Structure 1
Amino acid sequence: MASIIVLVSVLLLDVIAFGLAVAAEQRRSKATVTPDMVKEYDYCVYDSDIATGYGVGALLLLLAAQVVVMLASKCFCCGRGLKPGGSRACALILFLFAWLTFLIAEACLLAGSIRNAYHTRYRGIFGGNPLSCETVRKGVFAAGAAFTFFTAILSEFYYISYSKSRDAAGGAPYGGSNIGMGTYS
């Protein structure tokens, strides 16, 4: 039977990570082009940088949730054998898709956090080329939040399928090392 403690802790970590990713999308840095006092240069003035912290927090919580699931299931490949059948096949497919969505979510959150933390300096001379203040694109953190949500669902179902297959394996030949000794004449 799947551990309720594992399921609840992973769900809690994933929900908080999702919330932080959504908050990062809403609070991402915005910039305005401002001339200096002498009006020789234009420079970028950025508002708060809190979205970087939210993005990194979401990244770390999602990583922690993935670690908990992988430790509880012994990363699918270590530990007792699983009973062949539908539960094992389902667990394998969910395992692969959970890792795929996890990697995409982590990449989005990391890229968004790095780009949000990047602030340009003096870049344009007044009256010259227009200045471009670089900010994170709209939707990067939202994509991270969406894939965090997918990862949460897939990893929960993966752990349930894994546990079902593990429990069905029981003893030998899949779950133990019992050696049956027959009578020989």
Structure 2
Amino acid sequence: MISCLLVEDQTLVRLGLESLLNLSECIRVTGVAQNGIEALERIKEAQFDVMLLDMRMPELDGLGVLSAMQKLPQPTPPVLIITTFEDCDTLVNAVNLGAKGYVLKSIELEDLIEAIKQVVAGQQVLQKALTDYLLKKQLVPQMMLTTKELQVLKCLTLGMPNKEIAITLNNSDGTIRNHVSQILAKLDVNDRTQAVLKAFDKGLV
């Protein structure tokens, strides 16, 4: 059974989501919070398999929660952002702060349950409707790159070869080659030069 912490400030939305998720045979909402401060208190008090996190909340918003979670000494649950189109601009920062994915509050229950399962399994969940919106705003490439990949990309913009990047970032040559390959794939380019040009064009570095 997947233990879920539901963090949502709107009472009707929170109660509705809790009731619907508890209908599932594999998920139970074992904790709720109506703001970011309460969310941090809950994960200090108990362990959860996943956190469903709203972005707009009083006292401490979703980004504040994600930032604070990085500083906690104990393990924290993977986070699935549940949001609206109005909050899309914050998703880039949310994923860069460790969120494992995002879905709209209007998502079908079956799709939400599947998204939760995927996050618990360590996968990234990016709902197509939101991703399409972000693509139009040219924000997806920045969001898709991990912190390490962004570090490697910055080194590429400085003209550094793989061996020098490996020494700088304290990684093996093979690891850096893998990162470069991932960067090229995520930026949808064919070589390092194109990656550097796209990085500057999209403001990634």
TM range (shorter): under 0.3
Which one has a larger percent helix, Structure 1 or Structure 2? 1
Q: TM-score, normalised by structure 2?
A: 0.22
- TM-score, with structure 1 as normaliser: 0.23
Determine which structure has greater relative contact order: mean sequence separation of CA pairs < 8 Å that are 6+ residues apart, divided by chain length.
1
If you compute each CA radius of gyration, which structure gives the higher value, 1 or 2? 1
Greater per-residue strand proportion? 2
